[in-house]
Amino acid sequence: MSEAVQIIGAGPAGLTAAINLKRAGIDVVVHEQNKDVGLRFNGDFQGLENWSTNQDAIQFLSSVGVSVNFLCKPYSELAVFTPSGKRHLVKFARPLFYLVERGTTETSLDCGLKKQAIATGVEIVWNSKVDEVKQGNTVVATGPKAADAIAKGIVFSTSHEDAAITFVDDRIAPKAYAYLLINGGKATFATCLFVDFKNERSYFEKAFDRMQKLVQIDVRSPREFGGFVNFFFKPATKGNRFWYVGESAGFQDGLWGFGMRYAMMSGYLAAQSIITGKSYESLVQKNIEKILEVSIADRLIFSLLGNRGYEKALSILDKLEDPIAWLRKWYNPSPLKTAMFQVAKRWYRTRLIDKQCMHMNCDCVWCRHGNQPHGHSMEQMKN
Ligand SMILES: Cc1cc2nc3c(=O)[nH]c(=O)nc-3n(C[C@H](O)[C@H](O)[C@H](O)COP(=O)(O)OP(=O)(O)OC[C@H]3O[C@@H](n4cnc5c(N)ncnc54)[C@H](O)[C@@H]3O)c2cc1C
């Protein structure tokens, strides 16, 4: 391959593709619109989920060519508060997730991937916003374009011990959950919404109140963060020279928004497709698409649960010997899930596509979303 592969976006998807291509001897140039990686985030904690497949997330990282040179801490206990205020402590035989940090700090996943890419010899061009690539092989890794779910939260310092706590209640996190993740004196608290985005501030305030009533925690130097996730199904290649990866391809867990694994997996698969000439569509179909379809069917079920359903689900979880195995079953493809997916995809529409905001002195979800200008800016590349 004579020309370098252009990679647009230095998130987990783009950098994983870059690392694998460069290791295989293919030159790549990564264009990142911001002056550094991770500016869409603010030092908030995220979970690298460890329940949807048998493979442990650490093995997964190694299988997609990523080394662990960032904070990646296993959490095997989750406290869940149901709408009645009851606390359920769920213990798992293996880590439920690995906590990682997102943003520009040295220990973040974003910086870790950047260091691995640079050490492999990848060229990254900063402050390079690319809206069109006229020729050559191109990996599009620009992140979400629209909001199917949003999160609003704070990061803060605390003396509370490390913990992972979730709150389910449609009055504070409609059709989703609020979460509190604490590690080494730093904490992230956020509420997620799958509907009713315009009332995000009021949901956040109610969620924060609830959290403070139920958890004895000191909140010091809080800073706001927020964001959105996007899932959809469209062909992941275009014109034999575009490979769409990560959330710009709609690869995102439809159930709860855990998209990092899919981002890195798809970056790896796009690289394999370019290196070996194998069809990316087939690789995606085999490794990603089925599980995403199931997650959209699960979203439909979750949306129907309501507060009574959350209480019931937690009382089931309490009695299980191996809750991870139970969670994994939710991601298993089956004829029933395929049928439900057909219903779910008709019922489910992307909730918010930004059409009107002029983004001046504005507090909308798009404008609060780190330094990234606007999630819909790359729409033209796909259409
Ligand atoms: C608040 C929040 C909490 C989350 N929590 C979790 C969690 O706990 N677990 C989990 O697995 N997932 C979580 N996610 C989802 C996860 O962050 C994403 O799925 C993942 O970051 C997607 O990676 P990506 O590489 O596809 O896109 P991104 O991480 O968005 O990276 C895209 C990059 O492309 C750049 N870019 C965009 N347009 C251009 C352009 N035109 N030119 C050049 N560069 C461009 C952007 O600046 C950015 O750096 C969360 C998301 C949010 C918003």
pLDDT over 60 (residue 376): no
Instruction: State residue 347's pLDDT score.
Output: 72
Q: Does residue 362 lie in a domain region?
A: no
Same domain, 56 and 117: yes
Among residues 19, 32, 34, 33, the alpha carbon closest in space to that of 124 is found at 32
Contact between 253 and 216 under an 8 Å Cβ cutoff? The reply is no
For the CA of 144, the nearest atom of ligand 1: 30
Q: Give me ligand 1 centre to Cα 308, in Å.
A: 33
Which residue's CA is minimally distant from atom 19 of ligand 1? Answer: 259
Domain membership flag for residue 208: yes
Q: What are phi and psi of 309, to 5 degrees?
A: -60, -40
Q: Give the nearest ligand 1 atom to 131 CA.
A: 41
Angle at 80 between CA 74 and CA 81, to 5 degrees: 150
Q: Could you please report the per-residue DSSP string of 36-68? A: STTTTS-S-EEEEE-SSSSS-HHHHHHHTT---
Flag whether 69 is in a domain. yes
pLDDT at 173: 98
- The 10 Å CB-count burial string (b at 16+, else e) for 86-113 is eebebebeebbbbbbbbbbbeebbbbbb
Number of structural domains found in the chain: 3
User: What does the pLDDT read at residue 373?
Assistant: 40
Distance 40 CA to ligand 1 centre (A): 7
Residues 95 and 158 in one domain: no
Q: How far is the CA of 317 from the centre of ligand 1 (A)?
A: 31
CB contact at 8 A, 197 and 147 = yes
What pLDDT score does 363 carry? 55
44 and 190, same domain (yes or no): no
What lies within 8 Å, CB to CB, of 78 at 6+ separation is 89, 90, 92, 96, 164, 165, 166
Average pLDDT over every residue of 366-378: 42
Amino acid at 89: L
The sign of the CA dihedral 346, 245, 251, 256 is: negative
Q: What tokens were used for 212?
A: 């403070």
Provide the residue range defining the domain that includes 288: 5-146+230-292
pLDDT digits (tens, 9 = 90+) for 176-235: 999 999 999 999 999 999 988 889 999 999 999 999 999 999 999 999 999 999 888 888
pLDDT score at 362: 52
Which CATH number is 29's domain given? 3.50.50.60
220 and 117 belong to one structural domain: no
Q: What is the pLDDT of residue 343?
A: 86
Residue identifier of the C-alpha nearest atom 29 of ligand 1: 11
Per-residue pLDDT, 377: 30
CA of 363 to the centre of ligand 1 (A): 20
Asked, for residue 15, whether it belongs to a domain, the answer is: yes
372 pLDDT band, cuts 50/70/90, is very low
CA distances from 223 to 108, 191, 209, 235 (A): 17, 15, 17, 38
**How much is the pLDDT for 381?**
27
Domain boundary among 201, 229, 257: 229
pTM score of the predicted model:
0.92
**Atom 37, ligand 1: residue with shortest CA distance:** 142
How many whole angstroms separate alpha carbon 83 and alpha carbon 78?
16
Task: Say whether both 262 and 317 belong to one domain.
Answer: no
- At 99-127, the pLDDT tens digits run 999 999 999 999 999 999 999 999 999 99
Instruction: Output the CA 354–ligand 1 centroid distance in Å.
Output: 17
**Which residue type does 256 have?**
W
259-311 residue pLDDT tens: 999 999 999 999 999 999 999 999 999 999 999 999 999 999 999 999 999 99
User: In this structure, are strands 28-31 and 5-8 parallel, antiparallel, or unpaired?
Assistant: parallel
Is residue 156 within 8 Å of 284, Cβ to Cβ?
A: no
The answer to whether position 378 is within a domain reads: no
Q: d(Cα 13, Cα 15) in Å, to the nearest integer?
A: 6
pLDDT tens-digit map of 242-254: 999 999 999 999 9
Write out pLDDT tens, residues 138-166: 999 999 888 889 999 999 999 999 999 99
pLDDT at 351 over 90: no
The preferred substitution site among 19, 28, 39, 40 for testing ligand 1, maximizing ligand atoms within 8 Å of CB, is 40
Query: Closest ligand 1 atom, CA of 192?
Result: 1
Pocket of ligand 1 (CB under 6 A): 8-14, 31-34, 40, 46-47, 49, 129-131, 141-143, 151, 227-229, 246-248, 252, 257-260, 263, 372, 378
Question: For 252-280, b where at least 16 C-beta lie within 10 A, e where not — what string?
Answer: bbbbbbbbbbbbbbbbbbbbbbbeeeeeb
Report the C-alpha gap between 112 and 383 in whole angstroms: 33
Asked if 297 and 309 sit in the same domain, the reply is yes
Check pLDDT > 70 for residue 5: yes
* Rg of the chain on CA atoms, in Å: 20
User: Among 27, 26, 30, which residue's Cα sits nearest to residue 8?
Assistant: 30
273 and 303 belong to one structural domain = no
Q: Looking at the domain assignment, is residue 300 inside a domain? A: yes
Q: Which of 213, 229, 245 is the last residue of a domain?
A: 229
Per-residue model confidence (pLDDT) at position 180? 98
Clarify whether residues 237 and 225 are in a common domain. no
Atom of ligand 1 nearest to the CA of 248: 26
CA distance linking residue 100 with residue 107, whole number of Å: 9
Asked whether residue 280 falls in the same domain as residue 158, the answer is no
Is residue 345 over pLDDT 70? Answer: yes
pLDDT in tens, 34-48: 999 999 998 999 999
pLDDT digits (tens, 9 = 90+) for 60-84: 999 999 999 999 999 999 999 999 9
How many A from CA of 260 to the centre of ligand 1? 8
Q: Tell me: do 128 and 153 sit in the same domain.
A: no
pLDDT-derived band at 2, boundaries 50, 70, 90 = low
